[in-house]
Amino acid sequence: MTITVVLGHPYPRSFNHAIAKHVVEALQTAGHAVAFHDLYAEGFDPLLTGHELATDDVRTNALAEQHCRELQLADGIVVIHPNWWGMPPAIVKGWIDRVFRPGVAYQFAGDDDGSGVPAGLLRARAAVVLTTSNTPAEREQDIFGDPLETIWRNCVFGFCGVALVVRRNFGVIAGSSRQQREQWLAEAAATALRVLGQAR
Ligand SMILES: Cc1cc2nc3c(=O)[nH]c(=O)nc-3n(C[C@H](O)[C@H](O)[C@H](O)COP(=O)(O)O)c2cc1C
């Protein structure tokens, strides 16, 4: 399978980078063709321009255009990022804005002014979202409503037609032991392999 893996974290020694490394290695070892993008390292520009908004034309930015192409071709997608204020980091939000474009990820019917329900265009049958946070799970659910779950499951991948969306949040990261982190890394890789394997 062709799998796109996207990482949104600025610090190379972060736990998020460790997750990405484990996941990419596991997928490659299993024989998948992996397109890995560390958005900060490659200098992805997250700002959707007025030109793109008005024309749906991303050809003025070669990297954004490459991401669009890869997203269209991917059989599976993995996204890895920390919880920042209940949201993905801005660079990941901008990746969604610029890459999950009309005609790439979804399309409204010809007579729809954009207020209806679009058809999802992504060929990927499965997406895995791996997030990290410092808020205990019960407080995240009760006080904040776990917005990342809704964002990825409903607003992004559900909207674009991806049938199977599995999100796993790892935490609390602060103060976690080495042993716990190694267990989480193994679980991250196993989750990606299992879920994307189901999408064949
Ligand atoms: C700008 C910023 C905002 C954050 N907001 C949240 C938050 O809303 N909820 C939460 O649980 N943790 C929050 N955190 C903590 C991060 O989620 C945590 O540091 C990260 O998941 C740890 O993984 P890392 O070592 O890979 O950075 C925030 C951290 C930063 C830097």
Domain parsing of the chain, residue ranges: 2-198
Ligand 1 atom with least separation from CA of 16: 26
- Nearest residue (CA) to ligand 1, atom 30: 84
Which of 29, 22, 24 lies closest to 4, judged by CA?
Answer: 24
Give the C-alpha distances (Å, rounded to integers) separating 116 from 89, 98, 106: 28, 21, 12
Q: Which atom of ligand 1 is nearest to the CA of 135?
A: 11
* pLDDT of the chain, 200 residues: tens digit per residue: 999 999 999 999 999 999 999 999 999 999 999 999 999 999 999 999 999 999 988 888 999 999 999 999 999 999 999 999 999 999 999 999 999 999 999 999 999 999 999 999 999 999 999 999 999 999 999 999 999 999 999 999 999 999 999 999 999 999 999 999 999 999 999 999 999 988 76
**What superfamily does domain 2-198 belong to in CATH?**
Flavodoxin domain (3.40.50.360)
- For tokens 């005609």, the residue is 103
Please give the distance, rounded to the nearest whole angstrom, from the Cα atom of residue 131 to the centre of ligand 1.
10
Residue 39 DSSP class: T
Question: What's the predicted TM-score (pTM) here?
Answer: 0.98
Orientation angle between helical segments 90-99 and 62-73, nearest 10 degrees? 70
Q: Rounded distance, CA 24 to CA 189, Å? A: 8
Nearest protein Cα to ligand 1, atom 17: 133
3 state DSSP class of 17: helix
What the block records as the tokens of 84 is 């920042």
Give CA separation, 126 vs 27, 168, 190, in Å. 14, 14, 15
